[in-house]
Chains A and B, each alone.
Chain A
Amino acid sequence: MPRPAPKPRRSSLTPFYVILGLVLLAGLAVLVTQLRPKGGAGANVPATAVTLTPEQLQRVKGMSRGREDAPITIYEFADYACPHCAQYAALIEPVIVERMVNTGRARYVFYEFPLQFRWSWLAARAGRCANEQGKFWEFHPMIFARQSDWAFDSDPLSKWGPLAQQVGLDQGKFEECVRSDRYQKEVTESSQLGNSLGVGGTPTLFVNGRKIETPNSYAQFEEEVRRIAPGAFGDAAAPAAPGAAAPADAAPAPAAGTTAP
């Protein structure tokens, strides 16, 4: 007598597939949340008000360029060893300088925020050493641009020395400065200021006292700046005279707008 054909039975794998599906959905949800700040929606994230008091800014000196009375003040907290900072320094900062700082619309202030990379602190002090010889803004883009050369080197100073010479620094004095702990205090204070303002990752930007999302492009940055300081792009902003850049290592003046409302 022929056996009856077996009825299809429910796969015992069904609960497993359900679990697998749930894990996949949860993972995708996490990935989507990671994508959001970088995407177009990120540009619409409102700027975060922070406590950026004139007293704090007076106490801690950052490296400044641009007109003292510019309607926009941009503060950057960055780490020379951070890859994102290098990317920002290569692609976005030069455009900001060209279109906002050199046109007198903005003053740009750089603060070190060394993270835990191998040479974060030493590199921050090297920046200060370049500033000592009045060449901070020349050295600043170079150390970022050559980050991959020194970040994994056991002797980064051997890479920075030629860079220093290239931008017109006295290499011997520069190297002697970096070997000393001359600017440890300043870098520490800068880092502490960043901590007190809630700087977590780098680069972190503040525009007129408001923390903004790190832009993906200059266009996104300008859009954010226009939202924060709508009047800054009017005809009133006259181009700065050549050489009008504020001296480096200047504590930013407590200009109106540096404290978030």
Chain B
Amino acid sequence: MVDDEGPELAHDPPPAPPLARMAIALLALIGVLVAVYLSLYKLGVIGGITCQVGSCEQVQASPWAVLLGIPVAVWGVGAYLAILAIALLGLQPAYVHSRRVALALFGLSAVGVAFSAYLTYIEAYVIEMWCQWCVTSAVIITVIFLLSIPGLRRAR
């Protein structure tokens, strides 16, 4: 009778899934939910927006809430879904050390950080109002970006 662990000792163990990538996937999922919420509001599916801090409605009504004819929140849904999908792929043993996966996560989140920084600037200095969900998203994408950096070093 073969011990459960016996045969596997003869093989290379599959690489441990990096915690940072798990955290990226989790944060991206939260980002998707936040962006979906804002999109539903912007598209008129839900009537009101819960906003304990700031003036979400005014920010969402501003010209900067739309990019190329599509609500910024909808772009956010797409970006977070892409990050989520890539992060989940990057958790599979065959892709844990994939350079492409690491670069994609780094690149996408870098673009997200840059765009969030621009929107945060608009909130602070142009609209002079804050949307708590936009700030939440900005924090999420920044943390995702930071978490994507170690993956670059590990990639091959």
Contact = CB atoms under 8 A, between A and B. Distances in A.
Given A6-B7, A7-B4, A34-B50, A20 B29 contact: yes
A84 interface: yes
Interface in A186-234: 201, 214, 216
A37 B11 CA distance: 57
A20 B32 CA distance: 12
Interface in A1-32: 3-7, 9, 12-13, 16, 19-20, 23-24, 27-28, 30-31
A72 interface: no
Most buried by A among B26, B55, B57, B60: B57
B62 to A, nearest CB: 6
B51 to A, nearest CB: 9
Secondary structure at the B interface, as helix, strand, loop or mixed, is helix
Nearest to B33: A27
Q: How large is the interface on B (under 10, 10 to 19, 20 to 34, 35 or more residues)?
A: 35 or more
A3 B12 CA distance: 13
A126 interface: no
Contacts of B7: 3-7
A45 to B, nearest CB: 12
A35 interface: yes
B29 A38 contact: no
A6 B40 contact: no
B116 to A, nearest CB: 20
Contact of B127 (A5, A83, A152, A214): A152
Interface in B17-49: 17, 22, 25-26, 29-30, 32-33, 36-37, 40, 45-48
A63 interface: no
Interface of A: 3-7, 9, 12-13, 16, 19-20, 23-24, 27-28, 30-31, 34-35, 37-38, 81-84, 115-118, 147-148, 151-152, 201, 214, 216
10 contacts: A4-B2, A7-B8, A19-B26, A27-B30, A38-B46, A81-B58, A117-B129, A151-B61, A152-B126, A201-B48
